[in-house]
């Protein structure tokens, strides 16, 4: 029995999820859409000061994780 | 289309594209072009630093400190956030994000590269070309500015 191609399954999983998020963003930008855009829900999360600090900290972490290490 | 040139979508969702066109003076456009060029050069320089070095760390910390200071001391005019989110619409995002983090967490837990690579394992080789890494850093910088405006 051939081994299960777990690497391919993992990559496909990430690809499907990223594609789904791109599709969601496109759908959100249609006029009258009930789906919020990324900017809208991030803006909503950043209404309280703590949310603003956490979102900006997340942005900083992304930069550190992908560009500094 | 209203008298002020905005559409219903633009008034209901002020952060959404297409945004109303605003007249910009040539000096303003020149300043924007200069800022864009400066950011591109900065991204190019930071992309050239080796990972796990002080230079790479400082290259990430400087934009964080600058944007953090702007956000605290002199925040720009913010795009008004929505008063509430549609729960059904938001649930699609929550499902996608939860699935993504679950998938990432399982890869991290298994720690079995190359059979079950994490998202970072997949992204890192893609960012090896200097130009791609520079572009990614530039997108990250612009995303930071977009967050400060929200």
Q: What is the pLDDT of residues A10-61, one digit of tens each?
A: 899 999 999 999 999 999 999 989 999 999 999 999 999 999 999 999 999 9
* Chain B residue with Cα closest to A62: B140
Say if B15 falls within a structural domain: no
Band of residue B27 on the pLDDT scale cut at 50, 70, 90:
confident
Say if B121 falls within a structural domain: yes
List chain A residues with CB under 8 Å of B136.
Answer: 66-67
Residue B48: domain span: 27-96+106-149
Average pLDDT over residues B21-28: 73
**Region for A35 from its dihedrals, namely left if φ exceeds 0, alpha if ψ lies in -120 to 50, beta otherwise:** beta
Say if B2 falls within a structural domain: no
pLDDT at B47 over 90: yes
Of B51, B117, B143, the CB nearest to A7: B117
| Whole-number pLDDT of residue B1 | 46
DSSP secondary structure letters along B32-74: HHHHHHHHHHHHHHHHTSPTTSHHHHHHHHHHHHHHHHHHHHS
| Whole-number pLDDT of residue B75 | 86
Say if B32 falls within a structural domain: yes
pLDDT, chain B, mean: 85
| Whole-number pLDDT of residue A66 | 92
Say if B52 falls within a structural domain: yes
Q: Domain count of chain B?
A: 1
Pair B140, B62: CB distance under 8 Å: no
pLDDT at B18 over 50: yes
Q: Does B93 touch chain A (CB under 8 A)?
A: yes
Least confident of B10-14, B82-86, B136-140: B10-14
Q: Does A28 touch chain B (CB under 8 A)?
A: yes
Say if B21 falls within a structural domain: no
Of A13, A28, A42, the CB nearest to B150: A42
| Whole-number pLDDT of residue B17 | 58
| Whole-number pLDDT of residue B145 | 93
| Whole-number pLDDT of residue A1 | 57
| Whole-number pLDDT of residue B40 | 95
User: Containing H/E element for B96?
Assistant: helix B87-110
DSSP-derived secondary structure letter, B128: -
Average pLDDT over residues B127-140: 95
Say if B36 falls within a structural domain: yes
């Amino acid at each position: 029995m051939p081994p299960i191609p777990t690497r391919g399954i993992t990559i496909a999983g990430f690809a499907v999820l990223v594609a789904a998020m791109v599709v969601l963003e496109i759908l959100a930008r249609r006029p009258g859409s009930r789906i919020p855009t990324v900017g809208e829900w991030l803006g909503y999360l950043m209404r309280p000061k703590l949310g603003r600090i956490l979102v900006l900290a997340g942005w900083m972490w992304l930069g550190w994780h992908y560009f500094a290490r | 289309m209203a008298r002020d040139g905005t559409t219903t979508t633009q008034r209901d969702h002020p952060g959404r594209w297409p945004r109303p066109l605003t007249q910009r003076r040539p000096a303003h456009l020149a300043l924007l072009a200069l800022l864009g060029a400066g950011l591109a050069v900065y991204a190019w320089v930071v992309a050239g630093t080796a990972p796990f070095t002080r230079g790479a760390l400082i290259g990430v910390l400087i934009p964080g400190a600058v944007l953090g200071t702007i956000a605290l001391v002199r925040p720009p005019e913010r795009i008004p956030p929505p008063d509430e989110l549609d729960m059904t619409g938001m649930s699609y995002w929550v499902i996608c994000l939860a699935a993504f983090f679950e998938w990432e967490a399982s890869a991290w837990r298994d720690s079995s590269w190359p059979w079950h690579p994490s998202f970072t394992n997949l992204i890192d080789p893609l960012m090896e070309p200097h130009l791609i890494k520079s572009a990614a850093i530039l997108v990250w910088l612009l995303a930071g500015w977009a967050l400060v405006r929200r």
